[in-house]
Amino acid sequence: MQAGVVHGDIHIRAEAPAVAHGLWQLPAAVRLVDRAEELNRLERNRNRAESGGHAVVAALSGLGGVGKTALALGWLHSLRPELPDGQLYADLRGQAPGGPADPAHVLGHFLRGLGVPPQALPAETAERAALFRSLTAERRIVVLLDDAATAAQVRPLLPGGPAVTLVTSRRWLSGLTLEGCYQMHLEPLNLDAAVELLADTLSDDRVATQPDDARELAGLCAGLPLAVRLVGARLAARPNRRITTMVRALTEEQDRLDALSVDEDHSLRGALDLSYQGLPDDAARLYRWLGLHPGAEFGKSVATAVLAELSDADPPDATDLLDELLDRNLLSDTGEERYRFHDLVRLHAAAKAHEERSASERKLLLRRIAAHYLATATRAEQLIDPQHSTMERTYLEDMREEPVVEDLGNDEEIALNWLERELDNLMTLIKIARPAGLPWLAWQLADAMWPLFLRRKHYDHWYDAHAEGLAAAEELGDRVAQCRMLTSGGMGELGRGRLQDALNMFESAAVMFAEDEDALGCARTLNYRGLAHQRLGRLDAAAELFARAAEELPEHGDHRAGGLARLNAADVELATGQLTWAASDAAAAHTTLSAAGDTYNAARATTLLGRVRLRQGAPAEAEELLSEALTVMRGIAAHYEEARALEYLGQAAETQGRTQRAKDRYQEALDLYTAVNRPGPAAEVRDRLEHLGGEPSTEQEPGAGPAATERNEPSG
């Protein structure tokens, strides 16, 4: 990024409507030097596009460190009064070691910011892109797509409607021409502007009193703002040092840069080397090891984990060393004790790690980082879903001590939010685990992330994690892990509607359990297979599997799963008109699940029992049961099940001739079904409202409805 003074006209418009909480995503802007012409060009293009009724799409290209992101942020932040409906931001990781960001994942991030519940996200990229365009069709927003790799990566991320989209990339993205993209190449600063930026960074009189040396130093930085800020930060930390000293140092450094492959620009590499050489030993060690961190952003606990592995005695304080790197402009502070490298700085840090440490040392450090994430994810799993049987975790015997675990307290919400915040890092670790020689990490991390997938419905990540986890388990020959990846991964496929794929996975697991004479594992797959057959419309097959599961699971010690099987059987029996059996199984399931402490599924059993009573002509009793279930579902924010209870409460009221109460219940159900993107049930409720002479209203700002956390039925 770049510092300095902004010049140029910025247009202003007031009056911003309410927007979703997650819609102000742009990082903070920094001051700009000598970019007035570029700002004016961007504004002129925007005015032309808007006057012609076209969307505004622009792309900034240029060298790394030239200030593309700084210019983008400066301009887009200035547009907030004119585009008041929100700001979306994505780092497309065009230069990331793990490869560019997947557009489907970025769209998921955007849609969640727009208020789409995680479990309502479409599975396919094209469907997500279409939904994104629909939700932004009437919104005046800005979108920053930072560090794009290709035009193909960008294209699905373009919003609909009156938005302003700005893309930054090292490349000229000519492929966006058909989208009406305005291309602008950002040149380095001229010499006077670079001197001004140096003076701004130093904040003293050295540039004024040593003007010739200042111009020479700025010239050595070749007009790259990042290079100017790096050398300026080092000088600022030494207020008594003359600028000529830095001139000599940078000149000497540039004589030996051919051996360091970080970027094509020697001035930037030289500035980075000088900053690195000026670090205290502990800070330099932390810097190069953090360069091996698999993701772009990390928390303080990662630095603590690294220092714990590398220190023979008590490790130094991570906060002090991170502050040292921040002061040298080698890190950015993203808030809440989280940090981020500029992509070129991260490459430089990784290059230093490769230069100065052996492959075995680097692998050991990656293991320490991985163990930190796995240990914390496992702790989160235990807090969120204590009923999910945690499989054994493999920590390395050659570590100095137990992995550093981030403090999650005993708070389920904190744990869930940690998994959400670290999702990109966890997925990157899963993807690099096998190439890095850590196959155990891939399946164990996927397993630990189960509660996040179950609650927040990241179906694309769910699939990717378990596919890679399964490959890793197969590589290890670990059949228990393979079965876990098949059953947990199959639940994800079931959730995103790939029913036959899910059934195939469940049946593969059943075969393996049978071969290994694992009776409990076999019994558990009966439940999973029954769900797949039920959703495929094969109710007889589903009923047979659920009946077997309800009998066999308790025999092998899993009473809770047996209760779930009874609940699933009751659902099929209700659908086929076997009301007496449905009532009996639902009541039995409620007893078992309550005893197991499974509040959510016990409430689902109560809902089902209420539905049975409604079908049996006992609306008053049904209303009492459904109200009981509704109270529980509201307490745990299970909005889909809440909507179902409300829908049947509406039917109970309608049956009793209480028309207004029925309308109110139906409208509440309709709003919730709409919020969690369940168009089928929503259409049925809308028909009921219209039949009663109601005027259903489903118009709401995206995000105005509750954030749903609907859960799947059985667990492995």
Q: What is the mean pLDDT of residues 589-598?
A: 94
β pairing state of 142-148 and 87-91:
parallel
Tell me which residue of 400, 408, 450 sits closest to 426, measured CA to CA.
450
Predicted confidence (pLDDT) at residue 624 exceeds the cutoff of 60 = yes
3-state SS class at 566:
helix
Say what the pLDDT of residue 714 is: 40
HEC sequence for 651-663: HHHHHCCCHHHHH
pLDDT at 19 over 50: no
| 195 bridge partner residues | none
> What tokens appear for 360 in the block?
């075995």
Fold of 483-597: 1.25.40
Please choose, from the candidates 560, 529, 564, the residue with its C-alpha nearest in 3D space to the C-alpha of residue 544.
Answer: 529
What is the predicted pLDDT for the residue at 583?
Answer: 96
- CATH classification number, 21-185, choose in 3.30.930.10, 3.40.50.300, 3.30.420.40, 1.20.120.330: 3.40.50.300
pLDDT score for 613? 96
| 170, 99 Cβ separation under 8 angstroms | no
Reported as a pLDDT band with limits 50, 70 and 90, residue 701 is very low
pLDDT at 10 over 50: no
| Paired tokens of 382 | 């235990």
Instruction: Please report which helix (H) or strand (E) contains residue 145, including its range.
Output: strand 142-148
2 has a pLDDT exceeding 70: no
Q: Give the DSSP H or E segment for 142.
A: strand 142-148
Helices (H), 13-56: 36-51
Residue 63 backbone dihedrals phi, psi, to 5 degrees: -60, 155
In angstroms, the CA 45 to CA 57 distance is 9
Q: Specify which residues 146 forms β-bridges with.
A: 91
Contacts of 134 (CB under 8 A, 6+ apart): 160
Lowest mean pLDDT among 6-10, 89-93, 157-161: 6-10
pLDDT at 253: 61
Alpha-carbon distance values, 163 to 54, 142, 158, 616, 640 (Å): 10, 6, 9, 54, 32
Which letter does DSSP use for residue 24 in this model? Answer: B
What tokens appear for 294 in the block? 């698999």
CA–CA gap between residue 285 and residue 276 (Å, rounded): 10
Q: Which stretch, 23-27, 204-208, 345-349, has highest mean pLDDT?
A: 204-208
Cα of 55 vs its chain's centroid, Å? 27
**263, 64 in Cβ contact below 8 A?**
yes
Residue with tokens 């891939």: 442
pLDDT surpassing 90 at residue 505: yes
- Residue 249, pLDDT score: 81
Task: Give residue 8's pLDDT band: very low, low, confident or very high (50, 70, 90).
Answer: very low
pLDDT at position 64, please? Answer: 77
Give the global pTM.
0.71
Average pLDDT over residues 94-100: 75
Q: Using 50, 70 and 90 to split pLDDT, how confident is the model at 594?
A: very high
Report the percentage of the chain scoring pLDDT > 70: 88
- Of 174-178, 393-397, 709-713, the poorest mean pLDDT is in 709-713
Are 282 and 263 spatial neighbours (Cβ–Cβ below 8 Å)? Answer: no
Q: Is 581 exposed, middle or buried (0-12, 13-18, 19+ CB in 10 A)?
A: middle
Paired with 298 in beta bridges are: 339
Mean pLDDT of the chain: 86
Give the separation between CA 529 and CA 201, rounded to whole angstroms.
64
Q: Domain extents for the chain?
A: 21-185, 191-255, 281-357, 362-477, 483-597, 608-614+625-716
Would the pLDDT of 12 be above 60? no
The total of other beta-carbon atoms located within 10 Å of residue 497's CB is: 12
- Residue 592: in which H helix or E strand, if any? helix 579-595
Average pLDDT over residues 345-361: 86
Quick check: do 191-255 and 483-597 share a fold? no
Single-letter code of the amino acid located at 426: L
Nearest to 169 by CA among 190, 140, 145, 191: 145
Of 344, 427, 416, nearest to 69 by C-alpha is: 344
CA angle, residues 623, 628, 630, in degrees to nearest 5: 90
Average pLDDT estimate for 16-34: 70
Coil, helix or strand for 297?
strand
pLDDT in tens, 216-243: 988 888 788 888 888 888 888 888 889 9
CATH of the structural domain 281-357, one choice from 3.30.930.20, 1.10.10.10, 3.20.20.70, 3.60.20.10 = 1.10.10.10
Q: Under a CB-based contact definition with an 8 Å cutoff, are residues 350 and 291 in contact?
A: yes
Residue with tokens 């790394």: 64
Predicted local distance difference test score (pLDDT) of residue 568: 96
pLDDT at 177: 84
**Cβ contact 210:243 at 8 Å:** yes
Highest-confidence segment of 50-59, 554-563, 637-646: 554-563
pLDDT tens for residues 469-489?
Answer: 999 999 999 999 999 999 999
Q: What is the pLDDT of residue 273?
A: 80
Mean pLDDT, range 85-113, rounded to an integer: 87
Strand partners, 169: 61, 148
**Predicted confidence (pLDDT) per residue in 387-414, tens digit:** 777 888 876 555 567 788 999 998 888 9
Residue 225 and residue 3 in contact, taking contact as beta carbons nearer than 8 Å:
yes
For the segment 676-700, the average pLDDT, to the nearest whole number, is 74
Q: How far apart are the first and last CA of the chain?
A: 47
Whether 527 and 568 have beta carbons less than 8 Å apart is answered as: yes
The CA distance from 348 to 344, in Å, is 6
Q: What is the pLDDT of residue 544?
A: 97
Backbone angles phi, psi at 297, to 5 degrees: -125, 145
Q: Give the CATH architecture of domain 191-255.
A: Orthogonal Bundle (1.10)
* Cβ–Cβ under 8 Å, residues 31 and 6: yes
